[in-house]
Amino acid sequence: MRALDWAVILLYLAGITWFGARFGRRQRTLRDYFLGGKTVPWWAIAFSIVSTETSTLTVIGTPALAFAGNFGFLQVVFGYLLGRIVIATLFLPHYFRGEMYTAYELMERRFGERVRRLTAGAFLLLRALAEGVRVFAISLVVSIVLGTGEFASIFLIICLTLFYTFEGGLTAVIWTEVAQMLLYIAGAVASLVVLAQMVPGGWVGIWEAGQAAGKFQIFDFALPTSREFFSRTYTFWAGLLGGCFLNTASHGAEQLIVQRLLAARSLRDSRLALLASWAVIFLQFTLFLSIGVALYAFYSASGMPAPQPADRIYPEFVWRYLPPGVAGLTIAAILAAAMSTHSATLNSLASTTVMDFVRPLAVGRSSGPLSDASALRLARWVTVGWEAVMLAIAWLARKWGPVLEAGLSIASVLYGSLLGAFLLGLLTHRAGQNAATVGMLAGLLVMLYVKAFTSVAWTWYALIGATTTFVVGGLFSLRRPESGHDGARRG
């Protein structure tokens, strides 16, 4: 029975690697490799954004949230919509004044080279840490399928992803992400349909079990006067405000998503892609949360103990209980989500390293700046280097807690400082390099304290960090006015 599943999985791995590698012949310049030649249609970029947001953490972590709790995570998703509106109106017009390769070029225009490197360095650190957790999440799936946690199995999948990312650049990443998104959505739908057939009473049985346990509750209007207000992760206010700041940081100030927005043909296409992606994200999270409720109904009716830790519930159900072929399709879908995000991360890390650090440093060399051909070769090998870093961090991430919340909380510690610097540049006139630097350091120190010594929920991290950075940077600029760069303001 497993032979058919393995055939489906191997067919997917071979097919997606071949498909992605085909784009290698089109990569002649850095514009091709890092921006897809700015020829990708907006709808493909929208699907790519969704696929990039959706890692293995989402696929295996979101059902676990509903299994143990309810639909409260959707409150964060509503905050994502507000964040996208802020980005579309405030950030994107600045990104499309001239041609940029990374988000941090905007920081150099506004503040100077030092802040560009500081914000780019913050991105490299947060994305490397967060992606390490995601790579570890792949091992949970592989260990279930193979019955072992062998590092060699994870290494195989990562190497296949590296191969087509190395060859095809952002074009390969975007189009493979479109295919992978369709696959993991199909796998999720198939899982939900099979679950409905296995739960007594079918869809009605799932609904009744979920209703009785309060699984479909979305909103929690905890009042600000509550002593637990900032320690509760999924409340309306934490979701709306925290989700807004988190999404503004991740989609407006982090190269992983900004790179896709910069690859759009025009400002209009970039806005369309960003806003359309929210509708897909909302439907997608609803689907995976529904799977969590269906799994709760299944295990409640069967009387069997659920797998532990909770992140194993969905992949283990898929491999043990889904019919042959369907199980293979769904496991391939989970791997697709992992590979799509991982390929996007590798390309964004490489683009930031080359464009924000290596190439500017090479300008002053006696031999002259790097040619496009030399920079392209370097970009590919930088991609390989970051892959090695990811594997090392993944090994350390085994004891960092539930994968979805671990990945989001790690990223959120640094998101606040990053977003605060961007807001300082776009919303103020007096702040210069020193103010932005002091503000970012203050925001980071405050967030390290909040993370280590308080019970504040991760959903508040980006808001607290951004506010600290903005306020401290603003106050510093009042005491010490600077005559910094102001290209972002003048356009």
Return the number of other C-beta atoms located less than 10 Å from residue 307's C-beta. 18
Return the number of other C-beta atoms located less than 10 Å from residue 490's C-beta. 9
Residue 219 has pLDDT above 60, yes or no: yes
By the 8 A CB rule, do 409 and 384 touch?
A: no
Average per-residue pLDDT in the chain? 86
Q: Which of 126, 163, 20, 23 is nearest to 413 (CA)?
A: 126
pLDDT at 326: 82
Instruction: Tell me the average pLDDT across 141-152.
Output: 64
pLDDT at 342: 82
Residue 403 has pLDDT above 70, yes or no: no
Residue 101 has pLDDT above 90, yes or no: yes
**What confidence tens digit (pLDDT) does each residue in 360-385 have?**
877 656 555 677 788 888 888 998 99
**What confidence tens digit (pLDDT) does each residue in 180-211 have?**
888 888 888 989 999 999 999 999 999 999 99
pLDDT band, residue 334 (cuts 50/70/90): confident
pLDDT at 491: 42
> Domains of the chain (ranges plus CATH)?
2-399 (1.20.1730.10)
Instruction: Quote the Cα angle for 84-287-237, to 5°.
Output: 45
Instruction: Tell me the average pLDDT across 102-124.
Output: 93
C-alpha dihedral (310, 314, 319, 322), degrees to nearest 10? 140
C-alpha dihedral (46, 51, 57, 62), degrees to nearest 10? 60
Instruction: Tell me the average pLDDT across 80-90.
Output: 97
pLDDT band, residue 405 (cuts 50/70/90): low
Three-state SS string over the chain comes to CHHHHHHHHHHHHHHHHHHHHHHHHHCCCHHHHHHHHHCCCHHHHHHHHHHHHCCHHHHHHHHHHHHHCCHHHHHHHHHHHHHHHHHHHHHHHHHCCCCCCCCCHHHHHHCCHHHHHHHHHHHHHHHHHHHHHHHHHHHHHHHHHHCCCCHHHHHHHHHHHHHHHHHHHHHHHHHHHHHHHHHHHHHHHHHHHHHHHHCCCHHHHHHHHHHHCCCCCCCCCCCCCCCCCCCCCCCHHHHHHHHHHHHHHHHHCCHHHHHHHHCCCCHHHHHHHHHHHHHHHHHHHHHHHHHHHHHHHHHHHHCCCCCCCHHHHHHHHHHHHCCCCHHHHHHHHHHHHHHHHHHHHHHHHHHHHHHHHHHHHHHCCCCCCCCHHHHHHHHHHHHHHHHHHHHHHHHHHHHCCCHHHHHHHHHHHHHHHHHHHHHHHHHCCCCCHHHHHHHHHHHHHHHHHHHHHCCCCHHHHHHHHHHHHHHHHHHHHHHCCCCCCCHHHHC
Count CA atoms within 13 Å of residue 372 on its CB side: 8
pLDDT at 148: 55
As given in the structure block, the two tokens for residue 328 are: 């293979």
By the 8 A CB rule, do 339 and 20 touch?
A: no
Listed in sequence order, the residues at least 6 apart from 198 whose beta carbon sits closer than 8 Å to its beta carbon are 298, 321
